[in-house]
């Protein structure tokens, strides 16, 4: 049933009637073409536009009534849809609920077998307009007859229509228009009874991309398996655009692809557009062997949506109120199909290592995590968002941070948030993207960008030159270049780490207990040679999301880039560690549904610490002679129980005590924090797999 809302203009649909369309005599519904509709009207297919912008099919009973009325040249018809009386107005292509008066757009197409096609034409500005239902029937009949060119009467004029060149030329004025025959994403069933449609929320998922060539054909395109994205050398005719306007609740994408058939030089332009996270609307325009015309449409669309020229996209400048380019990276995976058919060899890894690798290299887990954080991986698949695009996201957050700190919460903040969501696509359904107006919200977005960076690294590592003679887990393990050696329960180091974890669970972190499942000694290639030893070496905790660990083990711990805002880091941009295990465990972001987590024990060369009692976002500017920062907390491991390893590393594994027992100073932090600002002051020593036992 049409929702109770105002009619929305829709350029690509038949719903809205633009001023130009009203002025064109051959676009008026009451034209001579309508006189010949008659019984042909039963071939028309009718839809109404729901409140979430999706097009819904009228019930078969309603559609039959609409077709009869249209065939009889009625101006309107009253139908009953889902128990409500609805008036359909043919001249304006809208329908209205009689009780409330609220309206919805409608559109029609021509049924051809199990498919439905809409006929459109393009004006000199590149805008698409639809023909009237009656004119569509005339065009479809002529197209099916195979006569080309054909002289047709559309409206009050005669036209020569060339279905090979896809042009329509007025016989008197010689004005030429570009035609398009667009297939709707519907399937006509042979026989159907009237029924109420159950509208279910589409499940969010991330697309799996497999393709030949330099870019994947959009998965919604009907030519997905019969064409490829056209390219000429390094120039690939494919672009995804993104735009967010919080003030208008706009969060939308626009995809443009120039396609070439796999078996011939037959060209098409594929367009898909809509709200981020939704399938949206789409159109395929075929140009036969006319590559030049296909390029012209592609370039015109790009210019219209961005106000930039396609040929000058290397100098692209974002224009306010227009779309921005979403930069994604792709690498061809032509052998993907063959890989699926190959038998999987047995793994040579210890089962504990194999299970760990499969846990941290699980793409599905990565997908679920970013979806929870509202990232839209349909528009920018995991691992494909470029490093520059992620940096641009950080830069936007930095601008937002400055505005918040300056208490500028008006239009400038809205525009900065628009820029962030445009660069880093999010899916909020039909809800408006939230304004990023607090520092905690900035911190959440920083965590998303950090995760995207780690996932990008992980996926690149996992796809690097796989050895088909190895089990996938063995390949992944090999790509990390980090030796993982399981510790046996009861061994000295296992027992010490077990004690360290048990004793340093903070009293304030009482929502769960931790249970060790496995412990691995870590030996990362190159760590020993690069290590900077300033003395005062301690074994300290570090926690992170499961999705980040392949990137961490593969490339090591990394410091936030210069583009990142500083407000998300209490003591500036550095590597953070704790001497209380639960302090770090909280950063695993485990849950009741995914109760697994990983904690890293690192050898950290603290040297001479700059001890601070309160947070300082500029603490990375160390005083002369200082090598690290220690944020002093109220609860500390009992210093009388520190254990020193044979190599001189100290393990603060005592039970938590009130620091006032040892000092009269008062602190604002609950627990100690240790921060170093050089990654070479850190060596990974042990990786602990833990289970979170949440209390109800």
The CATH number covering residue 543 comes to 3.90.228.10
Q: Residue 95 is part of a domain; what is its CATH number?
A: 3.30.720.50
- Rounding to the nearest 10 degrees, give the CA dihedral for residues 288, 292, 298, 299: -170
Q: Which residues pair with 516 in a beta bridge?
A: 690
- Predicted pLDDT of residue 164: 79
User: Is residue 158 domain-shared with residue 251, that is, in the same domain?
Assistant: no
**Domain closes at, from 131, 156, 184:** 184
Q: Which residues contact 331 (CB under 8 A, 6 or more apart)?
A: 463
User: Is residue 405 domain-shared with residue 526, that is, in the same domain?
Assistant: no
Q: Residue 440 is part of a domain; what is its CATH number?
A: 1.20.142.10
In angstroms, the CA 654 to CA 650 distance is 12
Domain membership flag for residue 155:
yes
Domain membership flag for residue 29:
no
Q: Are 542 and 577 in contact (CB under 8 A)?
A: yes
Domain membership flag for residue 203:
no
Domain membership flag for residue 206:
no
Q: Which residues pair with 204 in a beta bridge?
A: none
User: Is residue 519 domain-shared with residue 374, that is, in the same domain?
Assistant: no
User: Is residue 487 domain-shared with residue 465, that is, in the same domain?
Assistant: no
- Predicted pLDDT of residue 681: 96
User: Is residue 179 domain-shared with residue 300, that is, in the same domain?
Assistant: no
DSSP state of 407: T
Segment 380-388 mean pLDDT:
62
pTM for the structure as a whole: 0.54
**Domain closes at, from 184, 213, 238:** 184
User: Is residue 60 domain-shared with residue 81, that is, in the same domain?
Assistant: yes
Domain membership flag for residue 456:
yes
Q: Which residues pair with 463 in a beta bridge?
A: none
User: Is residue 430 domain-shared with residue 530, that is, in the same domain?
Assistant: no
Lowest mean pLDDT among 74-78, 446-450, 528-532: 446-450
Domain membership flag for residue 332:
no
- Predicted pLDDT of residue 413: 86
Domain membership flag for residue 107:
yes
Collapsed DSSP state (helix, strand, coil) of residue 137: helix
**Which segment, 37-51, 254-268, 398-412, is predicted with the most confidence on average?**
254-268
Active site residues: 673
Q: Is the pLDDT of residue 529 over 50?
A: yes
Closest CA to 551 of 394, 382, 355: 382
Collapsed DSSP state (helix, strand, coil) of residue 152: strand
Q: Is the peptide bond before 633 cis (omega within 30 degrees of 0)?
A: no
Domain count for the chain? 4
Domain membership flag for residue 266:
yes
Q: Which domain holds residue 149?
A: 41-184
In angstroms, the CA 514 to CA 518 distance is 12
User: Is residue 531 domain-shared with residue 666, that is, in the same domain?
Assistant: yes
Q: Give the residue carrying structure tokens 């995991």.
A: 382
Q: Which residues contact 43 (CB under 8 A, 6 or more apart)?
A: 110, 111, 137
User: Is residue 272 domain-shared with residue 129, that is, in the same domain?
Assistant: no
DSSP for 92-120, written as a single string: TTEEEETTT--EEEEEEEEEETTEEEEEE
In angstroms, the CA 615 to CA 447 distance is 19
pLDDT in tens, 66-80: 988 888 888 899 888
User: Is residue 151 domain-shared with residue 262, that is, in the same domain?
Assistant: no
pLDDT in tens, 109-167: 999 888 899 888 876 655 677 888 988 888 888 888 887 777 877 767 788 888 877 78
User: Is residue 656 domain-shared with residue 561, that is, in the same domain?
Assistant: yes
Mean pLDDT of the chain: 79
**Domain closes at, from 429, 457, 474:** 474
User: Is residue 686 domain-shared with residue 566, that is, in the same domain?
Assistant: yes
């Amino acid at each position: 049933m049409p929702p109770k809302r105002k009619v929305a203009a829709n350029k690509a649909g038949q719903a809205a009637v633009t001023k130009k369309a009203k002025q064109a005599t051959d676009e008026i519904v009451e034209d001579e073409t309508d006189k010949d509709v008659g019984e042909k009207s039963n071939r028309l297919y009718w839809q109404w536009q729901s409140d979430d912008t999706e097009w819904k099919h009228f019930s078969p009973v309603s559609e039959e009534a609409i077709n009869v009325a249209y065939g009889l040249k009625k101006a309107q018809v009253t139908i009953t849809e889902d128990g409500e009386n609805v008036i359909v107005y043919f001249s304006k292509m809208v329908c209205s609920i009689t009780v409330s008066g609220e309206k919805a757009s409608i559109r029609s197409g021509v049924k051809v077998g199990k498919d439905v096609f809409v006929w459109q034409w393009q004006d000199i500005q590149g805008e698409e307009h639809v023909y009237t239902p009656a004119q569509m029937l005339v065009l479809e009949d002529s197209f099916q007859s195979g006569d080309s060119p054909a002289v047709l009467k559309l409206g009050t004029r005669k036209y020569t229509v060339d279905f090979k060149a896809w042009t329509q030329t007025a016989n008197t004025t010689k004005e030429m228009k570009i035609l398009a025959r667009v297939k709707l994403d519907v399937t006509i069933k042979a026989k159907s009874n009237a029924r109420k449609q159950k509208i279910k929320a589409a499940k969010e998922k991330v697309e799996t991309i497999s393709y030949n060539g330099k870019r994947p054909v959009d998965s919604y395109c009907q030519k997905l398996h019969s064409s490829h994205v056209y390219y000429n050398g390094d120039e690939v005719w494919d672009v995804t655009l993104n735009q967010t306007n919080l003030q208008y609740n706009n969060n939308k994408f626009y995809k443009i692809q120039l396609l070439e058939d796999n078996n011939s030089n037959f060209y098409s332009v594929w367009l898909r557009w809509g709200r981020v996270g939704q399938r949206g609307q789409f159109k395929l325009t075929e140009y036969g062997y006319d590559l030049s015309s296909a390029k012209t449409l592609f370039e015109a669309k790009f210019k219209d949506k961005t106000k930039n020229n396609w040929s000058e996209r290397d100098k692209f400048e974002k224009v306010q109120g227009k779309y921005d380019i979403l930069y994604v990276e792709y690498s061809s995976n032509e052998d993907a199909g063959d890989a699926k058919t190959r038998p999987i060899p047995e793994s040579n890894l210890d089962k504990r290592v194999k299970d760990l690798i499969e846990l941290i290299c699980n793409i599905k887990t990565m997908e679920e995590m970013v979806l929870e954080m509202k990232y839209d991986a349909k528009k920018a698949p995991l691992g494909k968002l470029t490093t520059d695009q992620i940096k641009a996201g950080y830069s936007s957050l930095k601008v937002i941070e400055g505005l918040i700190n300056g208490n500028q919460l008006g239009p400038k903040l809205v525009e900065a948030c628009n820029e962030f969501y445009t660069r880093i696509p999010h899916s909020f359904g039909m809800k408006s993207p939230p304004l990023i107006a607090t520092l905690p919200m900035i911190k959440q977005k920083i965590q998303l960008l950090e995760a995207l960076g780690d996932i990008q690294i992980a996926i690149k590592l996992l796809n690097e030159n796989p050895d088909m003679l190895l089990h996938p887990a063995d390949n992944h393990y090999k790509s990390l270049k980090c030796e993982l050696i399981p510790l046996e329960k009861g061994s000295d180091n296992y027992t010490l780490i077990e004690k360290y974890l048990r004793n340093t669970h903070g009293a304030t972190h009482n929502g769960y207990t931790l249970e060790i499942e496995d412990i691995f000694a870590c030996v990362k290639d190159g760590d020993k040679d690069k290590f900077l030893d300033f003395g005062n070496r301690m074994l300290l905790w570090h926690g992170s999301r499961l999705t980040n660990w392949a990137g961490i083990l593969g490339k090591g711990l990394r410091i936030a880039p210069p583009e990142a805002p500083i407000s998300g880091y209490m003591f500036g941009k550095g590597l953070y560690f704790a001497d209380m295990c639960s302090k770090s465990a909280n950063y695993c972001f485990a849950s009741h549904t995914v109760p697994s987590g990983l904690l890293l024990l690192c050898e950290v060369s603290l040297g001479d610490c700059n001890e601070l009692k309160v947070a300082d976002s500029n603490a990375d500017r160390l005083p002369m002679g200082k090598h690290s920062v220690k944020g002093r907390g109220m609860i500390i491991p009992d210093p009388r129980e520190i254990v020193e390893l044979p190599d001189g590393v100290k393990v603060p594994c005592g039970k938590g005590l009130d620091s006032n027992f040892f000092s009269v100073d008062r602190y604002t932090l609950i627990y100690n924090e240790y921060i170093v600002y050089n990654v070479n002051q850190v060596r990974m020593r042990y990786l602990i797999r833990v289970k979170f036992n949440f209390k109800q």
